[in-house]
Amino acid sequence: LLTDDGVPGTTIFAEMSALANATGAINLGQGFPDTDGPREVLLAAQEAIAAGLNQYPPGRGTAVLREAIARHQRRWYGLEVDPDTEVLVTAGATEALAAVLLAFVDEGEEVLTLEPAYDAYGAIIALAGGVHRTVPVDWPAFRPDADRLRDAITDRTRVILLNTPHNPTGAVLDEALLRVVVEAAERHDALIVTDEVYEHLVLDGARHVPVATLPGARDRTITISSGGKTFSTTGWKIGWLTGPAELVSSALAVKQFLTYVNGAPFQPAIAVGLDLPDAVFAGIAADLQAGRDLLLGGLEAAGLPVSSPAAGYFVIADGAALGFPDGADLCRRLPELAGVVGVPVSAFCRGEQAERMRSLVRFAYCKSPAVLQEASTRLATLR
């Protein structure tokens, strides 16, 4: 995690946000919304602070949030979880990932992910001493091959770390594929950890299928999510994990020495969000869909081939078509060329897969229409 000079390396997101700040370019790099989420959620946090909820919350998380998470799992997915034993509130999905992987992965044990993969996965697997195995997905569909995925799951696999909807590709893993994973996990007695932070940001009426709802999955699956994406509160870092009580207890054992607890006044506010009516969730996805369509149109008009994200915050474009074979190089030059910042997809990959994804750049569309319009106008100058 250190550079060759012995200093901490920065994440690609921090690096590209710094570049946007330094150049005044539009930041479509790091994934965070530029407008606030539901007012009820924001007010609830202010009220919680005013009401004095400013000291350590309980270790597993505030009861009102754990209960709201359990209600949410039942209402959206028909999943029953016990708020007292099967839910753990964490400092974002990031801490949930860290607590789970540190709890379950021993030195030399294998963790399987798709590739590209969210950057924290490889770093946390390394912290746990695990071995990171991957199954590549290909541009532009980014759909994993079921046979390849099945074959990659072996007796050496300790954890299959899924991410649906997927960052950076925006792919939603379908039920048939998830069934293949669950069956292989059962056969090889592997644990499934599933990062579903974009669960409500599914577009075009597509359906998010939580892995834990599939036959045989519940007893070996830890599901991770976060309020940051759904309610546009990425800076609050309220995440959670749900799963069988023994697995949650093991994650708690680690979490208590990572942060102990987190975000006391934000926890009841996220509980308010989780209880909001279906129409609010639909509105959040509809706004995002409009943003996606705007940016997709802008990138296409600029002459860039694009992926068709079914969910999440990001679209991927291929710089090669405009004579930019190296996405990392393009990202460094893009502020000057077009006044826009993106993130190279190679930052989510290693070795051969990084080479295959070399010309691809990820752009965030979780921004207001005026910003996406302006970014599109600027990108048109690339042509």
Does 94 engage in binding with ligand PMP (CB under 6 A)? yes
Query: DSSP string of 168-186?
Result: TT-----HHHHHHHHHHHH
CA nearest 195: which of 90, 86, 67? 90
Q: How far apart are CA 40 and CA 242, in angstroms?
A: 25
Residue 214: DSSP 8-state: S
Does 31 engage in binding with ligand PMP (CB under 6 A)? yes
Per CB under 6 A, the list member of 86, 110, 115, 195 interacting with ligand PMP is 195
Query: DSSP string of 228-261?
Result: HHHTT-TTT-EEEEE--HHHHHHHHHHHHHHTSS
Determine contact, residues 193/159, Cβ cutoff 8 Å.
Answer: yes
Per CB under 6 A, the list member of 228, 319, 339, 342 interacting with ligand PMP is 228
Binding to ligand GLN by CB under 6 A, coded x per residue (else -) over 138-177, reads -----------------------------x----------
- Least Å distance, CB 234 to ligand GLN, is 7
Does 327 engage in binding with ligand PMP (CB under 6 A)? no
Determine contact, residues 57/264, Cβ cutoff 8 Å.
Answer: yes
Binding to ligand PMP by CB under 6 A, coded x per residue (else -) over 231-270, reads ---x--x-x-------------------------------
Does 13 engage in binding with ligand GLN (CB under 6 A)? yes
Determine contact, residues 95/240, Cβ cutoff 8 Å.
Answer: no
Alpha carbon 338 to chain centroid, angstroms: 27
- Least Å distance, CB 190 to ligand GLN, is 25
Q: How far apart are CA 296 and CA 317, in angstroms?
A: 9
Determine contact, residues 343/12, Cβ cutoff 8 Å.
Answer: yes
- Least Å distance, CB 348 to ligand GLN, is 9
Does 267 engage in binding with ligand GLN (CB under 6 A)? no
30 makes contact, choosing from ligand PMP, ligand GLN, none, with CB < 5 to 8 Å by partner type, with: ligand GLN
Residues forming contacts to ligand PMP in the complex (CB under 6 A) are 31, 92-94, 118, 163, 167, 195, 197, 226, 228, 234, 237, 239
Residues forming contacts to ligand GLN in the complex (CB under 6 A) are 11, 13, 30-31, 167
